[in-house]
Structure 1
């Protein structure tokens, strides 16, 4: 029987999940495909039930316009064009943000950050997520 992590722990895990693993030789600017920036949805949007969502957690989006707080994006999976709050997205700076770190890399990162107790929370989150695209392979 586990308990849910406190809000402070969730933010630590959230930060660890969205911190890119950069290689010193890897390009550190935003990732582009066909000259467009790539962003990943951090939440379902709109945030109603799963059936109401036009954009899902972990979905790769092409950034069409990043002016203001509402960004115009197109879904890489469906081609659907929509506006989404910029705070619901994260610009991709390397492929590990798209494909996600390997389980072993994430566990090692959490342990090295002193968050060993968060490993079970991380594993629960990755194994019980609605959107499997987060760790899936996308055509680039």
Structure 2
């Protein structure tokens, strides 16, 4: 049983190292740009993270399953967003959307509890979650 806990902890540490390498700089840049943006430009940030979040929702998960937990959904969504970051980096496309993808990945890893033992990434993840929450609220208000 203790081996299971150790392997889970090692897996989480591996994800944190990968996120620091692949996502941290991009997510920080995106969040900093958001904070520096004026009110006219902020909706662009909201739309970007909301669109990416929707694109990254795992289509193969059956959300009606009673045993499916939020952590599984968050991890699958984060994994899809990470894949988008890597694909966009390989194609060398614009930073704005790639940074938004990184921010979404960090937000969902925070929601999945990946950053439990890393205060800096947990703080970054919390900021990303807040932005994603504001984006969802903004988008829903625009529909009404």
Structure with more relative contact order (C-alpha pairs < 8 Å, separation 6 or more):
2
Q: TM-score range by the shorter chain?
A: under 0.3
- Richer in strand (by share): 1
